[in-house]
Amino acid sequence: MKNNKRQGYLASVLLICAMTFTSCKVTSQEPVKTDIVISKDMKWCDRMALTVMKRHPEAYMIDDAKTPKWDYVHGLVLHSIEELYKQNPDPRYPVYIKGYVDSFVENDGSIKTYDLDNYNIDMVVSGRLLFKVYETTKEEKYLKALQLLRKQLTEQPRTESGGFWHKKIYPNQMWLDGLYMGEPFYAEYTTAFENGKQLDDVAKQFELIQKYATDPKTGLLYHAWDESKQMAWANKETGTSPNFWSRALGWYAMALVDVLDYFPKDHPKQKELVGYLNNVSEALAKYQDKSGLWYQVTDKGNKEGNYLEASGSSMFAYAFAKGANKGYLPSKYKKLANKAFDGLTKQLIKVDADGGITLTQACAVAGLGGKPYRDGSYEYYVKERKKDNDPKATGPFILAALELNR
The length of the chain is 406
Could you give the CA distance from residue 3 to residue 319 in angstroms, rounded to a whole number? 46
For residue 195, how many other CB atoms are within 10 A of its CB? 9
Could you give the CA distance from residue 259 to residue 328 in angstroms, rounded to a whole number? 12
Told to judge if 177 belongs to the known catalytic residues of this protein, a careful annotator would answer yes
Could you give the CA distance from residue 164 to residue 152 in angstroms, rounded to a whole number? 11
Q: How many CA atoms lie within 13 A of 142 on its CB side?
A: 23
What residue ranges in 184-265 does DSSP mark as E strands? 224-226
Could you give the CA distance from residue 335 to residue 329 in angstroms, rounded to a whole number? 12
Look at residues 391, 319, 382 and name the one whose alpha carbon lies nearest to residue 359. 391
State the catalytic residue, choosing from 46, 63, 177, 299: 177
In order of 37, 80, 310, 322, 352, the CA distances from 55 in angstroms are 12, 17, 19, 28, 12
DSSP bridge partners of 164: 158
Q: Which residues are catalytic?
A: 177
